[in-house]
Chain A
Amino acid sequence: MQLAMFRRVAAGGAVAALTFAGVGAATMSPAYAASSKVSVVHGIPDTPVDVYVNGEKTLDNFKPGDVAGPLTLPEGEYDIALTKPGEAIDKAILKVDDAAVPGGANISLAAHLSADGKPLITPFVNDVSKVGAGKARLIVRHTAAAPAVDVRAGGKPVFENLTNPKEAKADVAAGTVKADVVLAGTDTVAIGPADLNLKEGTATIVYAIGSADGKNLDLVAQTIGGLHSAPGGVPSGTGGQAGTGVDTWWYVLAGAGVLLLVGGGARAATARAGRR
């Protein structure tokens, strides 16, 4: 049941990763929300870095597998640079200039390897819409130097043929699933299996990182909370013994009482008058 739903959503749910310039177009930003929440995910193995935003060191010795943020960044354009720890910004190993951060969005910047093993930064817009009561959102992002993969839960493929740097997502029943990553269309396990605790009302974002050639494929997770909804209602009584509204029959009884009193009174009066 859960797996069926996984697959149904997964078919249409693979969202192309956006180029930096594309982020602005993809997210409609309400006028009142001028800033965005931005997280940074480190998915380049063996390469701790310092992160500079607009020339200012924002993260010191940021380690592979770590997730930083969220930062609240006002809408605008940013220069982002990664250096080896302690090195000057002009020796940056990775740089993105004029990256557009739209207003009112929730964004993850993933520093990771391309399919052919080159370091790059890919921005993802996180789906932070509410999930239904009892549900959790699972988002999987292929950010590893590896070919297309399938993501399986309980041994069954739920997201198929996912390629770098794309994502697939689904809202599923909250709870724990045993997940692994296999080469697309095969049973060759690339990562896992791992237990994923999908907490109700959260989005769990799992990044496949590392390199197949380097034999250091791994998973990094980011969780976004506060997406829960209340249940539709609380039905908690079918007996009627505690009903507070006055039932119609009591009105009928009261009416009958009035009639009897008036009628009886009238008869008594006429009887008395007759005797006189």
Chain B
Amino acid sequence: MTVRHRGALAAMAAGATALTLAGVVACGSEAAEDVGGDEVAALASATTTPTTMPAASASGSVPVNAGTLPAGSEIVPPVKLSIPPIRVTASVNPVGVNERTDEFEVPPSVDQVGWYRYGPGLEADSGSVVIAGHVDSAEQGKGAFFRLRELDRGDTLTATGSDGAERRYRVVAREEYRKSKIPLDRYFARDGRPRLTLITCGGPFDAKTRNYRDNIVVTAVPA
């Protein structure tokens, strides 16, 4: 066997390796398919008994309230989130909106997740409880919701409230949206059936702007 021949074989082997590697990466990077989108739309549009005063006709009985100054209502914030199928146990912090960007203030520490404190708490009988967490960060590595996109219909998770009570949820949908197209009003709704919405980032990553293109949204209902 000539040296030239051996070199050619080595080149072929290297080429095969490179191709296989690239192929494996490509397959592994395939975005998981959306499931349950219709169900999410149905949950959002479902009418529940209104928590506000019902409208009355002029002839019917009209609701009358004492015009006392509004007091704070009893809200049960989630304090712990446990998602056994993806081995997540995370502290939940109440968060709001970043004043400068008007965006959801996801906790900077990637092993913690944030509950949208302006929306419903765990006690609510309508609307979407929203918890968002980092998929990862450049400085801290993998985040609590790194494997969120692996969740599937039927998986169960538990949210513990500040009252100590655990509430079980069952995943009904996993969706991926471009951030420019995501119907945020649906996920931050305060009406519709009670549900838990988990949000993180996903999709292709732009290394220049250090941004993911998409949001991964998992919707769960009380189990």
Contacts and interface: CB of A to CB of B under 8 A. Distances in A.
Interface stretch (B5-13, B39-47, B167-175): B5-13
A216 to B, nearest CB: 15
Interface in A115-151: 132-134
A232 interface: yes
Nearest to B180: A233
Contact of B145 (A53, A67, A174, A236): A236
Given A59-B64, A66-B66, A71-B58, A241 B146 contact: yes
A253 B14 CA distance: 11
Nearest to B105: A231
Contacts of B8: 263-268, 271
B223 interface: no
A70 B212 contact: no
Contacts of A241: 135-136, 141-142, 146
A234 B22 contact: no
Interface in A91-134: 132-134
Nearest to A135: B97
A256 interface: yes
A212 interface: no
B165 interface: no
A244 B190 contact: no
A41 B93 CA distance: 39
A132 B100 CA distance: 13
A251 B213 CA distance: 20
Which one of B53, B210, B215 has the highest number of Cβ atoms from chain A below 10 Å of its Cβ? B53
Interface in B30-62: 30-31, 52-53, 55-59, 62
B201 A236 contact: yes
Interface in A14-45: 37, 41-42
Given A257-B18, A268-B5, A268-B8, A237 B200 contact: yes
A219 interface: yes
B34 to A, nearest CB: 13
Contacts of A204: 70
Contacts of B55: 37, 70-72
A231 B11 contact: no
Nearest to B200: A236
A89 B211 CA distance: 68
A261 B12 CA distance: 4
B4 A174 contact: no
Interface string A193-206: 01111111110101
Interface stretch (A163-171, A181-189, A221-229): A221-229
Contacts of A254: 18-19, 22-23, 26
Interface stretch (B81-89, B152-160, B181-189): B181-189
A69 interface: yes
Contacts of A275: 2
A259 interface: yes
B199 A234 contact: yes
A86 interface: no
Contacts of B63: 68-69
A244 B102 contact: no
A65 interface: yes
A199 B184 CA distance: 20
Contact of B184 (A69, A221, A230, A253): A230
A268 B184 contact: no
Nearest to A239: B136
B187 to A, nearest CB: 7
B129 to A, nearest CB: 14
29 contacts: A37-B55, A58-B58, A58-B62, A65-B68, A68-B62, A71-B56, A134-B118, A201-B190, A221-B68, A226-B52, A226-B190, A232-B103, A233-B103, A236-B145, A236-B212, A237-B137, A238-B139, A240-B205, A240-B210, A240-B212, A245-B213, A247-B207, A254-B23, A257-B22, A264-B7, A264-B14, A267-B5, A271-B5, A275-B2
Given A66-B66, A197-B69, A240-B136, 17 more contacts: A67-B66, A68-B62, A70-B55, A133-B96, A234-B179, A235-B106, A239-B136, A240-B138, A240-B207, A241-B146, A254-B18, A257-B17, A257-B20, A264-B8, A264-B10, A264-B11, A268-B8
